[in-house]
Amino acid sequence: MSATPASLGIQNIGQISIIVKDLQRATAFYRDVLGLPLLFAVPNLAFFDCGGVRLMLGPAETPEFDHLSSILYFRVPDLNTSYQRLVELGAKIFASPRLIAPMATYDLWMAAFYDSEGNIHQLMSEVARTK
């Protein structure tokens, strides 16, 4: 018997883990540059709130997990303002704001940046089309 997605009861993402080499440096980046609220820290781990999704930073537990993370897409209301703030705070930019996809009622814009550990993430904004 194969499981269907609905049978698992998944509602949303509860936590995302990002592997870091330097926890103190990464904690400062996610707190001070991205402005995410630090929920708590324990030895070798820091936890942030990202709009209701918990973001965990910590070193790899085993060599199999020691690699760059998946790309996180941080939704922002104004991409240009958020991008300029990233630049002002010294974040290393991978790609400046660009139109990704024109949709029926909005345009999807993104800008990519590196975190303090070399992981690439994106700011994303869904800009409503005016008629």
Ordered by where they begin, the domains of the chain are 12-128 (3.10.180.10)
Which parts of the chain are beta strand (E)?
A: 15-19, 38-42, 45-50, 53-58, 73-75, 93-102, 106-114, 120-128
Banded model confidence at residue 64, pLDDT cuts 50, 70, 90: confident
At 80, the amino acid letter reads N
Q: What's the confidence (pLDDT) of residue 67? A: 85
Better pLDDT: 85 or 69: 85
pTM of the model: 0.81
Tell me: the pLDDT tens digits for 93-111? 999 999 999 988 999 999 9
Distance in angstroms (rounded) separating the CA atoms of residues 23 and 124:
25
Q: What is the CA radius of gyration of the chain?
A: 17
Q: Which residues contact 121 (CB under 8 A, 6 or more apart)?
A: 71, 72, 73, 74, 112, 113, 114, 115
How confident is the model over 86-97, as a mean pLDDT? 95
Distance in angstroms (rounded) separating the CA atoms of residues 22 and 38:
16
